[in-house]
Amino acid sequence: MAGIWKATRLVALTGTALAATMLCAAEPGWAQDSAAAAEHFIDLELVPEVAFSAVNRYDFVAELLKAGKRPTQVGFAPYRMLELFQRMRIEFRLWRAEKDARKRRWIEQRILNDAGILGHYVSDTANPHHTTIHYNGWSGDNPKGYTVYTNEPNKGFHYRFEDTYLETHIKLNDVVPLIVTQPRVVEKPREEIWAHIRNSNKLVEQLYILDKQEAFSATTASPEHKKFASERLAAGAQVLRDLWWTAWVTSDPKLTPTPPPRPATSE
């Protein structure tokens, strides 16, 4: 019985992560307030090498400013993801310790909300458009004649791929077989998040090649396009599932080292 329960729980966890990823991937981004827009992307071409090792967004911003970069033009997606992961782990820890049933339910609601928000950013960055300066059309020199930017409503490459194509072509059953069933505990979450983003960024040109061969739209017939989109969603769902799982497992106080005492400060 315990084995069946565990298997069912893992399937449910994977399915929930996938559903969250697909739902968030199809969510329009145009309604985002400009103050939060930089949370949804990271233009890797603009990140100085030293900034990749920044422990938190504040150190990251400091390195960008040193390099003469405008932080809101570079983006903060990896740090938004890391912050949500860390918050989920704290919330799981609070849930483990709480004895009051009513307060436990409040914490559960907080966990579910943050888990869903984390899903938004993981699915954003599974789309190569969210990891590059070529976010809605090829930027700069374009000798291969890739799709270029347009501000015509619902015609931009980003929208055609992330909204129109996914909504009309991809179903859960297209993606589930591509996901490794067993979740894993991520040893280095920050590095894992950066790896997820780098893997997505490596596919930027392939995404543009596909769009040049046949534009992503509601009527696209190419199986290569469907394979690409399904694999991107599966990658996002797997990373999301593993971050959720890691937040839960490592929230166990027995696995968490006691932080050093804070130094005394004079008032």
CATH number of the domain bearing residue 236: 1.10.575
Task: Give residue 150's pLDDT band: very low, low, confident or very high (50, 70, 90).
Answer: confident
What was the pLDDT predicted at 140?
93
Q: Which residue has the tokens 């860390």?
A: 86
Task: Give residue 260's pLDDT band: very low, low, confident or very high (50, 70, 90).
Answer: low
How confident is the model over 191-229, as pLDDT tens digits? 999 999 999 999 999 999 999 999 999 999 999 999 999
Burial 193-215 (b: 16+ CB within 10 A, else e): bbebbebbbebbeebbebbeeeb
Is residue 83 a part of any domain in this protein?
yes
- Could you tell me which residues come within 8 angstroms of residue 204 by beta carbon, excluding any fewer than 6 positions away? 128, 129, 131, 132, 134
Domain that holds residue 203: 2-253
pTM of the predicted structure, to 2 decimals: 0.85
What was the pLDDT predicted at 36?
86
Contact yes or no for 232/247 (Cβ under 8 A): no
Domain count, the chain: 1
CA distance 159 to 31: 13
Is residue 261 a part of any domain in this protein?
no
Is residue 22 a part of any domain in this protein?
yes
Is residue 35 a part of any domain in this protein?
yes
Q: Which residue has the tokens 């992503």?
A: 216
Is residue 260 a part of any domain in this protein?
no
Mean pLDDT value of segment 111-118: 95
Is residue 266 a part of any domain in this protein?
no
pLDDT at 252 over 70: yes
What was the pLDDT predicted at 253?
77
Is residue 267 a part of any domain in this protein?
no
How confident is the model over 75-104, as pLDDT tens digits? 999 999 999 999 999 999 999 999 999 999
Surface-to-core class of residue 98, CB atoms within 10 Å of its CB (0-12 exposed, 13-18 middle, 19+ buried): middle
Residue 41 token pair: 């992307």
Is residue 124 a part of any domain in this protein?
yes
